[in-house]
Amino acid sequence: MKVRVLVRPKEGILDPQGEAVRGALPALGFGGVKTVHIGRLIEMEVESADEVDAMCRRLLSNPTIEEYEWEVVS
Amino acid sequence: MKVRVLVRPKEGILDPQGEAVRGALPALGFGGVKTVHIGRLIEMEVESADEVDAMCRRLLSNPTIEEYEWEVVS
């Protein structure tokens, strides 16, 4: 089965990538963007979803500064 | 409105981050993972979704090596 994991900086944690993108948008002519947050997309083909949560905690995210969510997509 | 953009390496493009994660999983005791692909998650608060596709093409992704999809999430 295919699993999709989304990892993002926790609320209040510095997000320099997102800030850089937000700052670049007006110069490219894109207005009206209030916030930009950048995280990671992880897509895995796994035999079972049983261990996905443990993988997220132990390898795919840093729980101190990041939050994650995951779902089976197919 | 809140928009979520997913950016991932195109099929056949080298994905060293994904390969590194896939290689690290067995040593942590996680078996049964066939493939891992890593991309970017971008979440933006925008006034209108009209320009999101252009932002994806011009700044948020590299269309030569990456594909993207986006959706309005709220």
Question: To 5 degrees, how large is the angle CA B68–CA B73–CA B74?
Answer: 150
Q: What pLDDT is recorded for position B50?
A: 95
- Segment B3-15 shows an average pLDDT of 96
Encode pLDDT of B15-68 as tens digits. 999 999 999 999 999 999 999 999 999 999 999 999 999 999 999 999 999 999
Whether B16 contacts chain A with CB within 8 A: no
CATH topology of domain B2-72: Mth169; Chain: A , (3.30.1280)
Q: How far is A63 from chain B (nearest CA, A)?
A: 17
Quote the pLDDT of residue A21.
96
What's residue A19's pLDDT?
Answer: 96
Domain ranges of chain A: 2-72
Q: Does A33 touch chain B (CB under 8 A)?
A: yes
A59 touching chain B per CB within 8 A: yes
DSSP class per residue in A16-65 = HHHHHHHHHTGGGT---EEEEEEEEEEEEEES-STTHHHHIIIII--TTT
Question: What mean pLDDT do residues A43-61 have?
Answer: 96
